[in-house]
Structure 1
Amino acid sequence: MVRSLDGLVMAPVADQDAGQVGTRTRFTYHEREGRIWAEYAGGDIVHGHLVGTREGDRLDFRYVQLRTDGTTATGHCVSAVMALPDGRVRLEETWEWESRPGRGTSVVEQTAV
């Protein structure tokens, strides 16, 4: 199992569509006893939160965000936690909006070791 996510800062490796997280978005993760949460902001996101659980190297969480255009969005994500060869952490994510149509995949990686 990959080490704790607590205190890690992570960023997407590619931009998504407008109004979603992108390479300028930064996530600060927290983890305690199988619970995970994070705050995020940057790019088109003014403020976002995610909250969920971790079982082994699998995350399952819900997210809510406020975008620069003043709209909000919510969704669900399942992520596989992986260790990169250089020691950083990578999350391979499968997500789906709950507040509107749409789904996809994304990758976020730890910004520094």
Structure 2
Amino acid sequence: MTARSLDGLVMAPVEDQAPGQVGTRTRFTYHEQDGVIWASYAGGDVVRGELVGSRDGDVLDFRYVQLKTDGGTASGHCESRIEELPDGRIRLRESWEWESRPGRGTSVVEQVTS
């Protein structure tokens, strides 16, 4: 079953990544229309970030770019699987890889309700 729209949802990582990357203080505001997804994000070590991509069922495929507090930029690719939590919130299980530098990993972000 396909999860509901991400449009207007605010998401946050459930744990910090390495310094200079997104973390629990980072907030993503998602938008979705006709299979296109995009989000702006900021917080923690990220001054500003943008992502854009597509949704096919419960899978998101997108590219991201961000400006860090140290003035550096970084970009990469991510594939996320959408899950609905028992309380009705949305979780994204992400597999990502930097394209601007070496490195890859996984992360989890969840809908913030407050």
Name the TM-score class by shorter chain: over 0.9
Structure 2 Cα separation of the partners of residues 89 and 10 of structure 1: 8
Structure 1 Cα separation of the partners of residues 44 and 113 of structure 2: 20
CA RMSD in angstroms, aligned pairs only: 0.8
Unmatched 5+ residue regions in structure 2? none
Structure 2 Cα separation of the partners of residues 2 and 89 of structure 1: 8
For residues 29-68 of structure 1, what are the structure 2 equivalents within 5 Å?
Answer: 29-68=30-69
TM-score normalised to the size of structure 1?
Answer: 0.99
Structure 1 Cα separation of the partners of residues 4 and 101 of structure 2: 34
Structure 2 Cα separation of the partners of residues 10 and 29 of structure 1: 8
By how many angstroms is 1:112 displaced? 1.2
> SS state of the match for residue 64, structure 1?
strand
Task: Report the residue type matching 2:32 in the other structure.
Answer: E
Task: Report the residue type matching 2:42 in the other structure.
Answer: A
Paired position in structure 2 for 1:89:
90
Unmatched 5+ residue regions in structure 1? none
Paired position in structure 2 for 1:74:
75
Cα deviation per residue 1:5-32 (whole Å; 9 max; x = unaligned)?
A: 0000000000000000000000000000
Count of aligned pairs between the two proteins: 113
